[in-house]
Structure 1
Amino acid sequence: MQKTWCVAKPSSDQATLLANINYACTHVDCQILQKGCPCFSPDSLINHASIAMNLYYQCKGRNQWNCDFRNSGLIVVTDPSYSDCIYA
């Protein structure tokens, strides 16, 4: 089966990204986003939202609807990991 990840759509507005982070992080452990952790940098809403949304997506079984986030999520087949920040 193809490995997939969930990221935030680049067209998403700041309020949506913030809501997605808050929602995802009430359901999954977002400690990886804390200052000093590998995925804190770059410290941007789009980056943090993508990581939080992917954590949620992976934990909930990688179903299409687990990456919807009111149509602000995008399922990708290219691993979005970078430097020490590994997308689960």
Structure 2
Amino acid sequence: MLTRTLVALFFLLSLLHNSDGQFADYCIADEQTPEDEVVQAMKWACGNGADCSAIGENGVCYLPNTVKDHASYAFNSYYQNMKHKGGSCYFNAAAILSDLDPSHNSCKFEYLP
């Protein structure tokens, strides 16, 4: 019984890990945060370490053109660039961490272990 439980636990943990053994952590906009707060946090992220060129009008992540999608890209860019320097995925409670890759079509969200 204990062996079966351990095997099941290891299997579940393997599903949650990337191939390099690290948990993926993407920083995305929290859908429960009011849009005006998300916009302010996104502006801050774009001015303080996020590479927001991909969400510009001709960028690969411009579509879908929604505040949530653009903010998620900006928050994740900031977080990936700054997490090893003390940066967080907080943005005044406008963002949350997710283990699901939010990339879509040609828009690829960066992940740095």
Dislocated runs of 4+, deviation >4 Å: 62-65
1:38 Cα offset (Å): 1.1
Per-residue Cα deviation, 1:46-83 (whole angstroms, up to 9, x for no partner): 11111100001001126896101111211000111000
Q: CA deviation at 1:29?
A: 2.1
Residue pairs, 1:19-58, within 5 angstroms? 19-27=40-48, 28-58=50-80
- Relative to the length of structure 1, the TM-score reads 0.91
Unaligned runs of 5+ in 1: none
C-alpha separation in 1, matches of 2:93 and 2:35: 14
Q: Bigger relative contact order, structure 1 or 2, given CA contacts below 8 A and separation 6+?
A: 1
Asked if structure 2 preserves the Cα contact closer than 8 Å seen for 1:2 and 1:77, the reply is yes
> Residues 63, 81 of structure 1: CA spacing in aligned structure 2 closer, same or farther, 3 A cutoff?
farther
- Root-mean-square deviation (CA, aligned residues, Å) is 1.7
Residue 16, structure 1, aligned to residue 37, structure 2: yes
Equivalent runs, 1:39-78 vs 2, <5 Å: 39-61=61-83, 66-78=88-100
Larger Rg: 2
- Residue correspondences, number: 88
